[in-house]
Amino acid sequence: MRIIPIIQQLKDNCALLENRVETAQSLTALSDDEISKELPIAFIYAGKEIAMKSETINKTNQPSPVRVHILIAAQNTDGITEPLEDIRDQIKAALVGYQINAQLDPMQFVEGDIVDVSKRLIWWKDTYETWGFLTS
């Protein structure tokens, strides 16, 4: 999965992130003292790729779902999640239906889940998916 177009799409369309969108350097929530950047911030990383069985006679086109994960770090405001939900709404609006290139289907939302909570931060991960074909 090419994530640079996704990063740019989020920078261009998610005002609440104020261009704070980066590639992930870790796949887990960082401790409060490791996040010194302004909040909120989104970290992007490619997810699992799966090749499905080809239904064509010559077996040269395999449908393949491709996932991307958006790890969001937002300010914990005493358990009130509305600021986080506002960010998630902007990300969904930017990515659902977004087509990275002509070889891939428009993106769809798959799932979201809490990763970690501390006194300062709420970590949330959303997963998006697109479909393409592996060809030979």
Q: Apex CA 9: angle with CA 61 and CA 68, to 5°?
A: 50
* Residue with the larger pLDDT of the pair 29 and 103: 103
H or E segment at 92?
helix 82-95
48: its two tokens: 């699992």
Q: What 3-state DSSP class applies to 95? A: helix
- Domains with residue ranges and CATH for the chain: 4-30+37-54+63-135 (3.30.2000.10)
* Residue with the larger pLDDT of the pair 49 and 124: 124
Distance separating alpha carbons of residues 119 and 85, to the nearest angstrom:
18
pLDDT of residue 119: 83
Is the Cβ–Cβ distance between 40 and 73 less than 8 Å? yes
For 59-104, the pLDDT digits (tens) are 666 667 889 999 999 988 876 678 899 999 999 999 999 999 888 8
Distance separating alpha carbons of residues 19 and 77, to the nearest angstrom:
22
pLDDT at 136 over 60: no
Average pLDDT, the chain: 84
Amino acid, res. 84: L
For 55, counting Cβ atoms within 10 Å of its Cβ (0-12 exposed, 13-18 middle, 19+ buried), the class is exposed
* CA–CA distances in Å: residue 125 to residues 45, 97, 110: 11, 19, 11
pLDDT of residue 49: 73
pLDDT at 133 over 70: no
Q: What is the mean pLDDT of residues 117-133?
A: 88
Residue 66: closest CA among 53, 45, 49: 49
Q: What is the mean pLDDT of residues 34-56?
A: 77
